[in-house]
A and B are shown apart, each in its own frame.
Chain A
Amino acid sequence: MGREVSESCVDSLLTEMVSSYCDRFYANKPDLAARRIEAIGFQVGLQLSERYTMERPRFSDHLEAIKFICKDFWSELFKKQIDNLKTNHRGTFVLQDNRFRWLARMSVDPSPENGDLSQDNPPAENKAAQATSMHLYFPCGIIRGALSNLGIPCAVTADISNLPACSFVVRIKA
């Protein structure tokens, strides 16, 4: 009980996992790499939700389970709660984290020819956004795994507006 995990190790492991899958195992198939990373997250979420729901009464509805993810589950993982939760009351939830820990150390690669050509900038930015979004498949998988284990099948996508803020969109399958 009460075993500790080094935070920087987890950060490094995550970065290394993403780069291994994207650059080595499935270098030319980003979709497949994304699916694999998401699947790892799914299993992690499955197991974590089993552990973190141990001492609590069962959830009576979807909102309660989502609230659990926002509060207790997020606190266990990132030592903070989700900053904002929105819902349309029809099965879509948006969980916003203003300072997502796994993106906090992320920076956009300053390309050397940043200054001379303005039309070079959009592709570079695009590439950086793609690399960042690769890192979000793992947490998406964690959320999907946790909710699935609680009996809520859903699809989770992530959305980066401005680093390190990040929002996860949960769509519950009817």
Chain B
Amino acid sequence: MIVCVAVVGHQNNPLYIQSFTEADDALKLHHIVHCSLDVVDERVNNPKKSGPTLNETFLGLLYPTENYKVYGYLTNTKVKFILVTTDLDVRDADVRNFFRRFHAAYVDAVSNPFHVPGKKITSRTFAERVSTIVKSFGSSSAG
């Protein structure tokens, strides 16, 4: 189950962050997302570690914690997508698929002429689309 997704701008400014848990642990999740930004920087600045997947947008598993797995994605425009999940056996293909759909939703949201580049995404349509994608992530990995 995905517990948190975030969009972070190129200056590490949060553009969109949403948690999907009942419990009141938003702060903890935001902290995890915040920590993962350093890992993203490290991956991007030391490309030899990533080897054949050089400059790919999908960054893979950033770091596992006891309860969560954190995945990252960096677009060409230096916008980071962070995914926090509680599933312990996640298939790479599922995550890739998630990020692809998430990226499409993001692009549609920022293409709105009323969206100010570099500001938070406040579109309700985007929020709805994200929660649909998040929900379908759970079902596709189960099935």
Give A residues with C-beta under 8 Å from B.
Answer: 43, 46-47, 49-51, 53-60, 149-151
Contacts and interface: CB of A to CB of B under 8 A. Distances in A.
A99 B130 CA distance: 42
A56 B117 contact: no
User: Chain B at the A interface: mostly helix, strand, loop or mixed?
Assistant: loop
Interface stretch (B34-42, B53-61, B63-71): B53-61
B104 interface: yes
Q: Most chain-B CB neighbours within 10 Å: which of A46, A50, A54, A55?
A: A50
11 contacts: A49-B76, A50-B75, A51-B107, A53-B75, A53-B77, A54-B75, A54-B104, A57-B57, A58-B56, A58-B76, A59-B76
B104 A50 contact: no
A50 B78 contact: no
Q: Chain B interface residue count: which class? A: 10 to 19
User: Chain A at the B interface: mostly helix, strand, loop or mixed?
Assistant: loop
B12 to A, nearest CB: 14
Interface of B: 10, 54-57, 74-78, 100, 103-104, 107, 110-111, 113, 117
B117 A57 contact: no
A57 B55 contact: yes
Given A43-B117, A50-B107, A58 B10 contact: no
B107 A56 contact: no
Nearest to A56: B76
A49 B76 CA distance: 9
Contact of B110 (A47, A55, A56, A60): A47
Contacts of B78: 151
B76 A150 contact: yes
Nearest to A65: B76
B77 A49 contact: yes
Contacts of A43: 113, 117
B111 A50 contact: yes
A58 B107 contact: no
User: What are the 6 A-B residue pairs with the smallest beta carbon separation, nearest first?
Assistant: A53-B76, A57-B55, A58-B55, A47-B111, A149-B77, A51-B107
Q: Most chain-A CB neighbours within 10 Å: which of B74, B104, B111?
A: B111
Given A50-B107, A59-B76, A151-B77, 18 more contacts: A43-B113, A46-B117, A49-B76, A49-B77, A50-B75, A50-B77, A50-B110, A51-B111, A54-B103, A54-B107, A55-B100, A58-B55, A58-B56, A58-B57, A60-B54, A149-B77, A149-B117, A151-B78
A150 B56 contact: no
Given A50-B107, A50-B110, A51-B107, A57 B77 contact: no
